[in-house]
A and B are shown apart, each in its own frame.
Chain A
Amino acid sequence: MWATVARTMMRKQGIDCRMNWKDLQEKRMITAQHSYVSPEEIDAFVEALP
């Protein structure tokens, strides 16, 4: 089966997305997800968002 790529663009008022991205990277989360990413990892990502 061909993998599908999902991309969601998001931002939060008052927070620079580059700070978001850097903070997530330090938590070993690289943004932009592919089909091999588990739903639990997505939940962890959402949890880590400020």
Chain B
Amino acid sequence: MGFETVGNSLLAQYRADFPVAQNLIYLNHAAVSPVCRAAAEAMRWLATDAEQFGSLHYDKWMACYEGLRVEAAQMLHASPREVAIVKNTSEGIATIAMGLDWRSGDRIVAFHDEFPANQYPWIRLAARGVTITWLRPEAPLEEIEQAAKGARLLAISFVQFLSGYRADLEAIGEICARHGVFFCVDAIQGLGAFPLDVRKARIHAAAADGHKWLTGPEGCGVLYIQQDVQDAVDPVEFGWTNAAAHADYGSRDMTLRADAGRYEPGTLNTIGCFGLEAAFKFLNGVGVENIAPVVQGLADRAAAGAVAKGYELLTPRTPATGAGIVSMRKQGIDCRMIWKDLKEKRMITAPRAGWLRVSPHFYVSPEEIDAFVEALP
């Protein structure tokens, strides 16, 4: 899906939802996002409630867990019964990697340059006789299809953490469906900024933490797992709440919950759930389809400005493959010095593997991007 550069039409309406903008030019949503106002308010409410009333309002906490599933499902175009609450993306991916019934000789298609969270769990399966075919994330679909033939699973990120390359998930999902391959997506660098329809993309599992493009807190995320494959993914992290009868403390019936809650092994991160539910609700209200062209436009603007100042981009940007991440460098200048200098000017970016990475969200103004470009040496 292509997103052409447009002006930031959402700025006036939503800028105040990000108080961080009063303090900083924040271009680091690919690392840790500031929490949106709604998420901060929800977490403050829970903190006060727990302080003043203990667990008296536990019914509201339970309602929050359900609300989080509903809001996440809405953004993913899934059912709330397909959403498990996890502590982070890694836990979500590991749930799939450890839960499938692997056989020696099984093969996975994975990708170079991925964040370790989407490599290590697959590499560890070598101990069970599983091999990996490695491809470049930018590999042509024909190459991906060739590799997918006979594979058991394909794991790719929606958006690459360093290059910002956005995968064509619908096309890859079509390939996986054609060859009976389990399709697993690390969605953290795209969810909240770019539309993700797990049904259209025929994704079996996708995981994302709250603290990047979802503008929620750290330590609370979601794992989407398609209802039809839940019986094929064994919940290996097992505690009292995986069981359907978990509300009856006297029961010892370990029959699994009938939905994705079967992957939740115990008490949840309630304050994180309050923040993440509010963040999902806020972004669903804005509409991710409205956010995407703005994020694309801001990143395009940063990339064009940097190139005009003699910077090299890690990956070329196109409407079909661009996202909110731009990594750049300039001959003879250490990116850590640029990052440090920008920080002193209250502009937040990230140094990553020799590149300066910028990642603006939709509430950042085009003028702030221009100020960042102006500040580049």
Contact = CB atoms under 8 A, between A and B. Distances in A.
A49 B56 CA distance: 19
Contacts of B54: 30
B269 interface: no
A12 B3 CA distance: 67
Interface residues of B, number: 3
B60 to A, nearest CB: 14
Give the size range of A's interface with the partner.
Answer: under 10
Interface in B31-84: 54-56
Nearest to B53: A30
Contacts of A30: 54-56
Interface in A12-37: 25, 30
B319 to A, nearest CB: 56
Nearest to A25: B56
Contacts of B56: 25, 30
B27 to A, nearest CB: 45
Nearest to A28: B56
Nearest to B54: A30
A25 B55 CA distance: 11
A30 B53 CA distance: 9
A27 B56 CA distance: 12
Contacts of A25: 56
A25 B54 CA distance: 12
A38 B55 CA distance: 19
A8 B55 CA distance: 19
A24 to B, nearest CB: 11
A13 B55 CA distance: 27
Nearest to B56: A30
Nearest to B55: A30
A45 to B, nearest CB: 15
B247 to A, nearest CB: 12
A9 to B, nearest CB: 12
B236 to A, nearest CB: 31
A20 B55 CA distance: 17
A30 B56 CA distance: 7
B251 to A, nearest CB: 16
B152 to A, nearest CB: 48
Interface in B158-194: none
A25 B58 CA distance: 12
B55 to A, nearest CB: 7
B271 to A, nearest CB: 19
A25 B56 CA distance: 8
Contacts of B55: 30
A41 to B, nearest CB: 13
A47 B346 CA distance: 61
Interface string B286-301: 0000000000000000
A29 to B, nearest CB: 10
What are the 4 closest A-B residue pairs judged by CB atoms, nearest first? A30-B54, A30-B56, A30-B55, A25-B56
Interface of A: 25, 30
Interface of B: 54-56
4 contacts: A25-B56, A30-B54, A30-B55, A30-B56
